[in-house]
Structure 1
Amino acid sequence: MDTIELVEESFAKLPDGKKFAELFYQRISEHSPHLMPLFANTSMTKMADKLLAALTAMVAALHDPEKLQNMLGPLGQRHLSYGVLESHYSIVGQTLLQTFEEELGEEWTDDYAAAWSEVYSNAAQIMQEGAAKAKAQNQSTTETVKKPIKTGALAWLYSLPVPKLLILWLALSVVVLEIAAIYGVPNWTRLLSACSLVLLIMTMLRGNNDAEKAGILECWKTIDSSHGVKTSRARQIAMERLNEKKCAMNRLDLAEVCLIKISLDGSDLSDSNLSGADLTESSLAGANFTKARLDKALLVSVYAPQVDMSFVTLAKANLSSSNLEKGSFLFCNMKGANLSGANLQGANLTGVLMDKNTYLSGADLRGAIIDDSMLDQAYTIGMIRPDGSVVTEV
């Protein structure tokens, strides 16, 4: 009997698949409690259902390598966003075999164990390759090109209402005529025409400015009308346009909305409610979230160097694999937050609140400012300390 047949046969012998999956997570909690923060926001019942479904699909796809690859690669990418590290795969594999042995009892054989070990090793490799690919993609970022800001006399002219601009045009026309009459400037009509042309252009620009203001108003209307709607592409575009125009978006109610891959570099979202919002893979460099609510939010793989999250509630939020370099997290509530694999180099974490469910495995805190006593409360195996040393298993 070959490996696939052994796996299929042993899997079919499970008396109760759901009970098996629930027992698996029970054994994880008993033998590897440090992994439990990964499941903080999900019930064990749902996790058991997902495990059973994944195992069933995997066993069914063993005869089709391409199908197996297409299924497990994306699964590895999703697990990366949950905060799963390479070191966790071996723990899961051992627990899986132990659970099989416990459930099947005397029917569990060495051949079954060898077959499942081979299949799981292959599956874990595919998932890790998928995770590595996703991580490489997340690390590639693009620079935002800032538009020039109008300053000085041009900004003053640009801000004038049309009636005043016309009065200015008439006044300048009179001045040019007087100069031409007194000094006999040749071709004074050309000078007047040139002056008129310039002011006409400014009038047109002013008209464009009015249109721009109307566009900004429409953006706000779009955001207001989408209140209570979880996914709105129009809202996302409106927010990006407002940010391009340097409009503050503080105090917005965006609880549980989907803003995946939104670009809000340098935005002002202070005092906003983003509880449970999904900002996965968004660009938030230099954004201001001061005093905002981001509890249970998904901030997986975000690009947010120099972000300001001072006094922010990040309880049970997922910031795994995110670039938070040199960010400010003064007195931030990080209880139950998943920061595995996050780049926190040079970040200011003064006064942050953490607990045993704060997950910092694989995070890079080199040069960060944080009280060691607070780190002692979090799970930090595999974390790089501010001094550059790596936390290892005791």
Structure 2
Amino acid sequence: MPEQPPAVNTYRYYYFGGGALKQMWQSIVNVIGGFFGTDQNDIDETTGLSVYEKNLVRSSWEQAMKNKKKFSVDIFMRLFTQDPPSQDLFDQLRGIPLDELAANRKMKAHAFRVAASLNTLVEGLDDIEVLIEMLNNVARTHFSHQVTKQHYDLLGKVLMEAFEDELKDKFNQRTKDAWLKAYGVMEKVMLGEYIELAKTANKSIPDSDKHRAGSSDVCKVTGLSTVEKDHIRKSWAALMKNKNENATLLIVNLFKMSEGAQDVFPKFKGKNPDELKKSIGVRSHGLRVLAALNSVVENLDDIECLVDMLQHIAHSHHPRGTSRKHFEDLGGVVIATFEEALGKKFTDDAKNAWAKAYGVILGVIKSEYENIEGNANEEKAEDAELAKEEAQTNGEVAKEAEAQKEGTEE
């Protein structure tokens, strides 16, 4: 007979065993929970959701996520079908015909990211402080993209439709009501943050009739205005339309413009420009650089995340011998690549915005290099001190042993 799980793990064994067992066990827990201090009718004072309603939200979400790819894409297909202008809020999706969207890789990637965010929110229903902070962060990201209350309202509507289509009879009225209440809480928190953001920026809450390029508020950390961020995002979207070719162009320009940069990569060392242009390895590395820059562009409004990513880049490149000079040169390389790839479409405004943004990038990376090297020097000093103490201790032990030996001989 196979080894049975110990009694202490019985709950985990059945609850996480999957399928019918898991659903049956959850039903039992819901029924008898009150006897053990978990009243299914207990109401969360902040969200207004009962334990029972939270369970309905979680279980229906879990069922929908069994077909995550179809479900998440379906939400956005419904959104763009019912409100075509909303597609233009997403630079990477702008201009793509509706009948091509469902199969579009960028569309799928964005839908999966939104599903992942919703999954985190569902998981955080019992941790109110974390839930509110996550929702506020979503609001801060979407505020600058002119996502309005009307967009949130429509998203809630198509989300319910997607649930009904995916779960059929399992998405009953009780479950739908629980979701409407949960989504209403989420929307209320985000719109509350919109009001605070509007006060800070000294402007009104985003309205669908306004365009974000008209704002000139400046980020106190990066020094970038909303208009400058707009120039960065639009020029970046244009560059990424021909991503593979421009990935190669970026690395070829780097090796041409930054002395010694090519030698940092053993597999590219000694290759001439024609060989580099044909190299799959060059294109692959260029795509990784573009992916890193893409994350920077996407997080221009999330300063903590932006700084963390740049510090990670510093830590990954410092051990490889990538110098400060190489990063300095990369700024000029990026500008040159834009100019070569986009021509007159890369305007002076866009160029100046990128120069300012790269100055921020460079500042964070240089600062982290100093921290890395400072810590390394401290560790060397500590190692040297420990070695010195060890040598002294060994010397004292040797002297003591010698003295004992001489005493024994006498």
What TM-score, normalized by structure 1, do the two folds share?
A: 0.39
Higher RCO, 1 or 2 (CA under 8 Å, sep at least 6)? Answer: 2
Answer 1 or 2: which has greater helix percent.
2
